[in-house]
Amino acid sequence: MPNVYPRAMSCARRAAASSFIVGQKSVELVIAYILLALYPVAVKRYEDDRSWIFLGMAIRCAVLNLVLFNSS
């Protein structure tokens, strides 16, 4: 059971990255990036922490969704 968290986070990172590359931006994607930022994988060095990157991606996707929904 202790190895479930790293495997789930690995799947979440892959899913978030592939959906961002494909171009499907949704509220669910923003929520996924926020969850990745809030529950990061433990790292030994601060330089390896990617929670700020995930939070930035969530903000960018949210702003993009607001712009797309308001323009149509």
pLDDT of 70 reads: 60
In angstroms, what CA-CA distances link 47 with 25, 28, 61, 71? 28, 28, 24, 38
pLDDT in tens, 2-57: 777 778 777 777 777 777 677 666 777 788 888 888 877 777 787 777 788 888 88
